[in-house]
Structure 1
Amino acid sequence: MALPEINQDEINQDSAGSPILLELVNPDGETIGTAEKLSAHQAPGKLHRAFSVFLFDAEGRMLLQQRALTKYHSPGVWSNACCGHPYPEEAPEAAAVRRTHEELGLKAANLLPAGTVTYYHPDEISGLVEHEYNHLFVGIVDQPTDPDPEEVHATRFVTQRELAELQAEKPFSAWFPTVWEAALPAARRLVPSGGW
C-alpha cells in the first residue's frame, strides 16, 4: 500500500518554524535522548514520552474528540479528549494542560494522574508507529469546548452505552482501547456516578 504524502516540515516544526522534538525514553520511562517528531513515529518506532487525557462532565459522561480530517496521522477517527507529547523537559501534566487548552479551548488545571501505560501500535494506513510511554490523566469539564478546527473535527459527550455504540459503528484511534483500559480505575474513582 502506498503511504500518503507527508509534509515533514509541517510535522517536525511548530508554528514558529522551530523543530518539534520528543523525549525518547527507556522502558522505565527514563529520558535517554530526543528525536524529531516524525522520526520517532517512523517504523520501527522509537519509544517516546506521551500523554492522554480523559475528561468527564458533571453527569459522568466522557468527552470524546474526532480528530481533524486533515491530520497526517489517524485523521477523522474518534479518541479520548486529548493526547500528545511533552516537549523535552516539560512535565507531562503541564503538557496535558497546555494541549487540552490548545486543542479544545479548555482550562484543565485540575487534572489527576491516572498512571502510565506503554504500547506499540502500528498504523496500517500511514505506516507510522505509536510506540509510547504514555502518562494518563483524568479530570472534570465545567465549561463548553471551543475546539481548534485544525486539531479537532468534532466533540461529543458519551455514556458507557453510547461509547460502545459509537465504537461499533465508527473508527477509533488504535491507542484508545489501551489507554482507556489503563485509565479506567482512576476514571471510576473520579466519577463513580458515571457507570463506567
Structure 2
Amino acid sequence: MRPEVSQLLYVSAREVSMERNQVVLVDQYDQEVGEMDKLLAHQRGELHRAFSIFIFNKAGQMLIHQRAAKKYHGGGLWTNACCSHPQKGEDLKSAAKERLGFEMGLVCDVERIFSFVYHSPVENGLIEHEYDHVFVGYTDVEPQPNPAEVQDYQWISLEELQQKIEQSPEQFTYWFKSALTRVIAALER
C-alpha cells in the first residue's frame, strides 16, 4: 500500500475514533449507570460524564476557542480550550489529553482540580446535564486547531475575559461561565 493511502486510512480511523458519539451516564456520585447516544442524552437531559480543560500560558493568559459553527450546540460560542466526553472504559485524564490534541493540536500535561454538576437548557431544545471534571494545564505552544472543531482561538487575560463575559454573556457557553469562577478560585488557593 502506498504511504499516502495508509496515512489517509490512519487519519480516517483516528477521526472516527474521536467522534465520541456515546456518553457515559452517571449518578450524582459519578458512578456509571449506563451508556447512551450523545445527542439523545442531550435531548433528554440525562446526567453524563464530561471533562473541561483550561489551558494557561506563562503570561497568565487563558486559551479560549470559538466552537465551529456547525456544532449541534454551542456552535460559534466561545469556551475553554477543550471540552468533551470520555468514552466507556477510558481513563479520564488520558481521554482529556487525547481530546486536547485532537481539537487544539496541543500536547501538555493536565491535572484535575475539581468536579461539579450543572444542568441547563441550551440552544436547539437541548439540555446540558453533566458531571464535569475540570482539568488545568500550562503551555506556551501555539495551538494548531482542528477546523472541524474550532472556528477561532485566542489567548486572553482573565481581566479582559471577565469583562467580555459581563458585556456579552450570550457569546460564551454555559459550562464555561459556570466553571470559570471555580477555576479562578481553585488557582488562587
TM-score (norm 2): 0.85
Number of equivalent positions:
173
User: Distance between the aligned counterparts of 1:99 and 1:16, measured in 2?
Assistant: 11
Residue aligning to 2:16: 15
Q: Quick one: which of 124, 127, 148 aligns to 2:125?
A: 127
Residue aligning to 1:27: 28
Runs of 4 or more consecutive aligned structure 1 residues displaced over 6 Å after TM superposition: 16-19
For 1:148, the aligned partner's letter is N
Residue aligning to 2:144: 146
Residue aligning to 1:86: 86
For 1:166, the aligned partner's letter is K
User: Distance between the aligned counterparts of 1:187 and 1:19, measured in 2?
Assistant: 30
Residue aligning to 1:115: 114
User: Distance between the aligned counterparts of 1:16 and 1:91, measured in 2?
Assistant: 15
**Residue 20 of structure 2 contacts residue 87 of structure 2 at CA under 8 Å; is this kept in 1?**
no
Shift of 1:134: 0.4
User: Distance between the aligned counterparts of 1:17 and 1:176, measured in 2?
Assistant: 22
* Larger helix fraction of residues: 2
For 1:163, the aligned partner's letter is L
User: Distance between the aligned counterparts of 1:17 and 1:95, measured in 2?
Assistant: 10
Match of 1:15, SS state, is: helix
Residue aligning to 2:185: 185
**Residue 116 of structure 1 contacts residue 182 of structure 1 at CA under 8 Å; is this kept in 2?**
no
Match of 1:145, SS state, is: coil
**Residue 68 of structure 1 contacts residue 150 of structure 1 at CA under 8 Å; is this kept in 2?**
yes
User: Distance between the aligned counterparts of 2:18 and 2:153, measured in 1?
Assistant: 29
> Taking structure 1 as reference, are residues 46 and 172 closer, same or farther at Cα in structure 2, changes over 3 Å only?
same
User: Distance between the aligned counterparts of 1:183 and 1:150, measured in 2?
Assistant: 27
User: Distance between the aligned counterparts of 2:21 and 2:32, measured in 1?
Assistant: 16
User: Distance between the aligned counterparts of 2:53 and 2:17, measured in 1?
Assistant: 26
For 1:85, the aligned partner's letter is H
> Taking structure 1 as reference, are residues 19 and 84 closer, same or farther at Cα in structure 2, changes over 3 Å only?
closer
Q: Greater CA deviation, 176-185 or 111-120? A: 176-185
Shift of 1:18: 8.5
Q: Quick one: which of 135, 159, 162 aligns to 2:160?
A: 162
Shift of 1:97: 0.3
> Taking structure 1 as reference, are residues 19 and 83 closer, same or farther at Cα in structure 2, changes over 3 Å only?
closer
Q: Greater CA deviation, 15-24 or 140-149? A: 15-24
Residue aligning to 2:134: 136
Match of 2:16, SS state, is: coil
User: Distance between the aligned counterparts of 2:186 and 2:71, measured in 1?
Assistant: 30
User: Identity percentage over the alignment?
Assistant: 38
TM-score (norm 1): 0.82
